Amino acid sequence: MGKEKLLFDAHFEADDLVNDFKTIVGKPTPVPHTLLIAILNTAWQMIASVRYAYDDKDINEFIELISETHIYGPRLIILDLFPWLNKILPPFLIDFLFKHKIQADLSDKIKAYFQKHIDNHMKDLCEENCKDYIDAYLLEMEKQKDDPNSTLSIEDLKFCLSDLFEGSSETTSLTLHWAILYLARYPNVQKKLQAEIDEGSWVFGESYVVHHDPKYWDSPNELRPERFLDSNGKFVAPSKAFVPFGYGKRFCIGENIGRMQLFVFMTKLVQNFQFDCPPGENITLEGVISPFFRPPKGSPKVLITLR
């Protein structure tokens, strides 16, 4: 579970993704959904020491479940903000308005998906061979089994797994998705990025979080990656206005993993492919407004060609 293994896994998945992209070069197409599977695989390797083929039924069903929770999940925020609604509205109306039963069913299916992996880990659990996150959690739970103050449990583990996937997969894949669309829309920026990679220089990928405060950013609506470079061409982040991973006590614990994944995958993709707008078409860089994520609106097509 060391940093070296995470880096190796990211390189392996990025190479596999490049091979998948090569099968669709020359044809206008939406950014392939295999991008998300590749990112999920890096998370699954860290969490459960497993990876899936892009056409695997289980991983595609898992993605469907996650997608459905994103559709219905925002409704439940209203109940979190106004819990008194549960007391004044009848159950059938709560279910109709907030799709509570649908969400509960999705949650049960996701937990059952996790339970299969937990069961497999419990069969060969060994303190001398801690392979991944699930092993580490189960071993610690065993150590604390006689502690009345312990909060570790199988149910808690499932919630932890859900948080890990939510925070480490969709965010990274959407950032890469947006990066590909922006590179296709702004070929001059893509050429600069490819030139940097071709020289072996360090390249830092941008997160999709765009900061628009004119107090800190001049021309905030323009894509100008050079704004993050000093006179020597080195990356310099504004200390107050650049917070893609949050700040304070809620600072994202997965920053290092996220940065590593973005760097490896973006480098591999730009190194091997050219992304362009399809002939006669334009890419509208609009996002779907959501409390959790900001996926591209519709399914913008890009033309992928080999370099």
Residue 186 in domain: yes
Rounded mean pLDDT of 159-174?
84
Predicted confidence (pLDDT) per residue in 257-305, tens digit: 888 888 999 999 999 999 999 999 888 888 887 766 778 888 899 999 9
Q: Is 252 annotated as a binding residue?
A: yes
pLDDT of 53 strictly over 90: yes
Under a CB-based contact definition with an 8 Å cutoff, are residues 292 and 74 in contact? yes
Residue 286 in domain: yes
Residue 214 in domain: no
- At 203 the pLDDT is 41
Predicted confidence (pLDDT) per residue in 244-253, tens digit: 776 666 667 7
Residue 43 in domain: yes
Q: Domain tally for the chain?
A: 1
**pTM here?**
0.64
Residue 221 in domain: no
Rounded mean pLDDT of 102-114?
90
Rounded mean pLDDT of 10-21?
93
Domain with 157, as residue range(s), is: 3-209+244-306
pLDDT confidence bin for 77, thresholds 50/70/90? confident
- At 38 the pLDDT is 94
Any idea which of 208-222, 227-241, 285-299 has the lowest mean pLDDT? 208-222
Cα–chain center distance at 20:
19
Where does the chain show beta strands of DSSP type E? 29-30, 273-276, 301-306
Residue 120 in domain: yes
Under a CB-based contact definition with an 8 Å cutoff, are residues 247 and 255 in contact? no
Q: In CATH, what number is assigned to the domain containing residue 301? A: 1.10.630.10
Burial of 95: CB neighbours in 10 Å, binned 0-12, 13-18, 19+: middle
Residue 77 in domain: yes
Residue 98 in domain: yes
Query: Which residues, 6+ apart, have CB-to-CB distance to 88 below 8 Å?
Result: none
- At 166 the pLDDT is 77
Q: Which residue has the higher pLDDT, 187 or 216?
A: 187
Adjacent-strand bridge partners of 306: 273
